[in-house]
Amino acid sequence: MIENRLSDYLDHMLEATKLAYCYVEGMPKEDFMADTRTQQAVIMNLIILGEAATKLIKDYSEFLDQYPDVPWRSMKGMRNRIAHGYFDINLDTVWETVQMSLPQLLERLPDMLEAAEKQK
């Protein structure tokens, strides 16, 4: 039997999403492109996000089916591309992800976390 870690994974995702987003909030793209420290902080949180998504896909697919508009496989794929091709990271893609995808995820994750808590 799998221990129910659904809420834990969603909580990790929420925290990583908040951190990655706040690191660049109000920062122009040019500043991000010149700031290695911020790049690495954001990338690390994208890895955490993708790792949690990978665990959810593996162990909680029925729950994820309730949220077909969330790009679960894309998160997993980005994590794999970052983790296995670290020297080939496309910073434009990282920037676009943080600017376009993370705000949407920040809107959705609290409700998903609440739904997961009710399943316990």
- Residues serving a catalytic function are 79, 84
Say how many C-beta atoms besides its own lie within 10 A of residue 86's C-beta: 10
Q: Which residues have C-beta within 8 Å of that of residue 33, sequence separation ≥ 6?
A: 39, 91, 95
Q: Identify residue 77 by its one-letter amino acid code.
A: G
Say how many C-beta atoms besides its own lie within 10 A of residue 13's C-beta: 26
SS3 88: helix
Exposure letters 60-77 (e unless 16+ CB within 10 A, then b): beebbeeeeebbbeebbe
